[in-house]
Amino acid sequence: MRVLVSGGGGFIGSHLVDRLLLRDDCTELLVVDNFWTGRRSNLSHITDKRVRILETDVERLADVGLFDEIYHLASPASPPWYMEEPLRTVRANVIGVLRLLEALRPNGLIGFTSTSEVYGDPLVSPQPESYRGSVDCTGPRSSYDESKRCSEAILFESRRVSGTQIKVVRLFNVFGPRTRPDDGRAVSNFISQALRGKPITVYGNGLQTRSWGYVDDIIDGLARFFWLQPTDYPGPLNVGNDREISVIDVARYVQSRFPKTPIVHLPPAPQDPTNRRPDLTIANRELPGWACQVPYEEGIDRAIAWFSKNEELRSASHDD
């Protein structure tokens, strides 16, 4: 069984690679990453001989043969990163998925991590998969949102006309070990700011909400959907924690762990969605037994422990 993970050097991708390596039927695992937002150090613990790492843009992938399973995660996911290089973001998602379809063996399976950003600034809460979103196709987030939407369209059309086996997941906010400290997301920013003795930066009044999923719970959902649970459902499937928490509450929680750290308010991020919460009705139907187990408080404590240990080591060794 040949398996390919694009974005396998990233935060979520590298955790997915770890889970795939628990499978005996996976005899070859190709990790494709250009290490733009991913990091080699996310894979440095892997000694398994089945793994090969190929440093390339996914859309330029060449001469790798055909694969039984492909998981397409290659894309920046943090607003400052994708806003900095929007066309590169579109290429990774859209041309990336077209390229990966060509590398799929007949009857192979392609899994894709789409995003809750397809719901835009939602007018319904929680958001079921049937909600078509309140989105701006020319706005500052469009390179990410629209390329994820287009990739979903490509996969569903490929399924319709060619019978391709697809599994499309819409991820809500994910946090935990292996997020870059300079990723720019709320939880990683708050923790790395507090660890450096800098103020915690809340954009706007902080009343905007997200549903924060700890990475282990989210990977568990992905593994169940992609290969553990026998289901013909192609998606889209919301995967996330449905406990909705405001940004200011997350900031205050991190502050409670670093009591001398002030919270400062900065201008709101451009077109920042006001709320986000997954409707998990379909996930509960398709993934019986799956539920997020780690509350955000415990997840943040674990992330703080990881950041304190690893980022110190990293800066000492000047690792990527």
Chain contacts with ligand UDP (rule: CB under 6 A): 78-79, 173, 185-186, 189, 201-203, 208, 210, 247, 269, 272
Q: Which residue has the tokens 């992330």?
A: 303
- What are the phi and psi torsion angles at 303 (to 5°)? -65, -40
Minimum CB–partner distance for residue 13 and ligand UDP (Å): 17
Of 98, 100, 96, 134, nearest to 116 by C-alpha is 134
- Between CA 26 and CA 6 the distance in angstroms is 16
Q: Which is nearer to ligand UDP, 54 or 269 (CB)?
A: 269
Cβ closest to ligand UDP, residue 72 vs residue 185: 185
Q: Which is nearer to ligand UDP, 18 or 272 (CB)?
A: 272
Token pair for residue 224?
């169940």
Cβ closer to ligand UDP: 203 or 258?
Answer: 203
Q: Cis check for the bond before 236: say yes or no (omega within 30 of 0).
A: yes
Give me the sign of the Cα torsion angle 182, 219, 7, 55. positive
Amino acid at 43: L
Kindly tell me the burial class for residue 240, based on how many C-beta atoms sit within 10 Å of its own C-beta (0-12, 13-18, 19 or more).
buried
Q: Smallest distance, Å, CB 182 to ligand UDP?
A: 11
Residue placing its CB nearer to ligand UDP in the complex, 95 or 269: 269
Q: Which is nearer to ligand UDP, 67 or 214 (CB)?
A: 214
Q: How far apart are CA 141 and CA 176, in angstroms?
A: 23
Catalytic positions, please? Answer: 144
Residues 6+ positions from 199 with CB-CB distance below 8 Å: 193, 261, 262, 263, 264
- Record the tokens describing residue 70, joined without a space: 């492909």
* CA separation for the pair 279, 239 (Å, rounded): 9
Q: Which residues contact 288 (CB under 8 A, 6 or more apart)?
A: 229
Shortest Å, Cβ 272 to ligand UDP: 5
Cβ proximity to ligand UDP, 100 vs 239, nearer residue: 239
Residues 6+ apart with CB under 8 A from 113: 12, 71, 72, 73, 169, 171, 222
CB of 269 to ligand UDP, least distance (A): 4
Answer whether 99's CB lies under 8 Å from 57's CB: no
Residue 92 beta carbon to ligand UDP: minimum distance, rounded to whole angstroms? 16
Q: How far is the CB of 172 from ligand UDP (least distance, A)?
A: 8
Give the chain's end-to-end CA distance (angstroms, integer): 32
Least Å from the CB of residue 7 to ligand UDP: 16
**147, 86 in Cβ contact below 8 A?**
no
